[in-house]
Amino acid sequence: QLQLVESGGGLVQPGGSLRLTCEASRFTLANYGVGWFRQAPGKEREAVSCISSGGGTTHYADSVKGRFTISRDKAKDTVYLQMNSLKPEDTAVYFCAADGFDHESWYCDLTTEYDYRGQGTQVTVSS
């Protein structure tokens, strides 16, 4: 079964930074568009960002624009989410998800129900 694994979560003070990492097992992540999502207790899941398989297209939720950056490293077959200027409202379980998007290397979006997702990593922003 295809698996995604997230890492890099933790406890950070407001204004701090974290970098989340998404890796795949049993498939090549580079062939897929990847999205990051988050879900806080009692709240609906929120799409945070996505990057196309080719890396040329990215999208961000308004709540994280200018603070978060998504990127991918083809050589390491990894996708990152750099999170800066973190706020308490960013506290959530973050998980990555992958979708083939019909092999369109330029495409990703924040509304698709992605085919594969990981278990998530906890991010807590608190003083």
High-pLDDT (> 90) share of the chain, %: 90
Q: What is the pLDDT of residue 2?
A: 78
Q: What is the pLDDT of residue 124?
A: 98
Residues (pLDDT < 50) of the chain are none
* Token reading at 89: 């409202």
In degrees and rounded to multiples of 5, residue 122 shows phi and psi of -80, 130
- Which residue type sits at 122? Q
- Which residue type sits at 101? F
Q: What is the pLDDT of residue 22?
A: 98
In degrees and rounded to multiples of 5, residue 90 shows phi and psi of -85, -5
Q: What is the pLDDT of residue 80?
A: 98
Q: What is the pLDDT of residue 69?
A: 98
- CA-CA distance, 21 to 95, in Å (whole number)? 10
Q: What is the pLDDT of residue 18?
A: 98
